[in-house]
Amino acid sequence: MESTIIKSRNFNASFGTNHVVKNVNIDIPRNHIIAVMGPSGCGKTTYLRCINRMHELIPGATSNGEMKLNEEDVYQMHPIFVRLKIGMVFQRPNPFPNLSIYDNVIAGYKLNGIKLPKAQRDEIVERSLTKVAMWKEVKDSLQKKGSFLSGGQQQRLCIARTVAMEPEVILFDEPTSALDPISTSTVEELFHELKTNYTLIIVTHNMQQAARVSDKTAFFFLGELVEYDETKTMFTNPKDNRTQNYITGRFS
C-alpha cells in the first residue's frame, strides 16, 4: 500500500467571481510522478499553485476546501513552512540574476538567513547540482552569474535550488515549455532520478510529455478533475468521453 502525501477534498479556487478550480478530490501517492494535463485555462496551473499556497498571492484570489500534506492541513500551516516542504519550479527559468550559480543553489538557505558552515554549504551545492546532472558542467564556474547559463541549464539550476531545500514535494509548472527539445529531454530524464527522493507534480500541456514521464495522470477540463488514473490506463483506455476526446486531439 503506497502512502498518500497530498490529499485534497472538495477543493475550490477562484479569481474574484471566476471559479477556476471546481471541487477537486485527489490523492497523490508518495514518490510518484503525477502529470496534470488539460487544455489552456482549465485550472491546472491554478490548482498546482494552490498546493503550496502561491495562488493566494494574486490579488482577489480565494480558495476553499481541504488540502493536506501528510495529513496536515496546508491552509492551517504558515505559508513559509508550506513552501519549504513543497518546492516549486516555474514555467520560465528564474534564477536570481544578482547571484552566482553557487549562491543560487544555496539561495533558500542564504536568503532565508540560515547560517551554515562552509563545508556543509559546499556539500549541499554539490549534492543538489549532482542531482540535476549539472555538477560536471558547472563545477568550474560556480562563481559565475546564474543568468549566463543557457535556458535549459537555468531551469536545471532552478530545480537544484528547489532540491537543495530538501522538500517533500516538488511542483513543476510547465517546466519545459520555454526550453528547446534537447534541454527538454534532459529535464525529463531528471524527473526519473528525482522520483526516488521526492514526489513530483508536473503541469504540462504536452500530452506526449505526460505519457512519457508520469506514473499517474490527472486530466482537468473547465476547472473540473475529469479523470485521474494510472498513466497507462489513461492513455490506452480512458473512462471519460472528454478524456478520450482530448487525448485523440478532438479539442485542445
Partner 1 sequence: MDGKNIKLRLGKSYGFQWLIYVLAFACLLPLLAILFYIVKAGITKINWHFLVNIPKPVGESGGGIANALVGSIIIILVASIIAIPIGIMAGVYLSENRRSRLAYWCRLSTDILQGVPSIVVGIVAYFWLVRPWSIPLGIFHWHITNKGGFSAVSGSFALAIMMLPIIVRSTEETLKLLPDTLKEAALALGMPFHRVIFKVIVPVGISGILSGVMLSVARITGETAPLLFTAFGNPYLSVNIGKPMQSLPLLIFNYATSPYTDWLNLAWGASLILLFWVLFLNIFTKVITRKWKVQL
DSSP secondary structure letter of residue 3: P
CB of 86 to partner 1, least distance (A): 9
Q: Closer CB to partner 1, residue 111 or residue 116? A: 111
Q: Closer CB to partner 1, residue 47 or residue 221? A: 47
Residue ranges that bind partner 1, judged by CB under 8 A: 52, 54, 57, 59, 80-84, 87-88, 90, 92, 94-98, 107-108, 111-113, 145, 147, 158, 161-162, 165
Q: Closer CB to partner 1, residue 44 or residue 55? A: 55
Give residue for cell 475529469: 226
Q: Closer CB to partner 1, residue 150 or residue 245? A: 150
CB of 202 to partner 1, least distance (A): 15
CB of 133 to partner 1, least distance (A): 21
CB of 23 to partner 1, least distance (A): 26
Q: Closer CB to partner 1, residue 142 or residue 211? A: 142
CB of 93 to partner 1, least distance (A): 9
Exposure pattern of 20-54 as b/e (b: 16+ CB <10 Å)?
A: bbbebebebeebbbbbbbbeeebbbbbbbbbbbbb
Among 34, 43, 24, 46, CA closest to 4: 34
Cα R_g (the chain), whole angstroms? 18
Q: How far is 20 from 33, CA to CA, in rounded Å?
A: 24
Q: How far is 192 from 213, CA to CA, in rounded Å?
A: 7
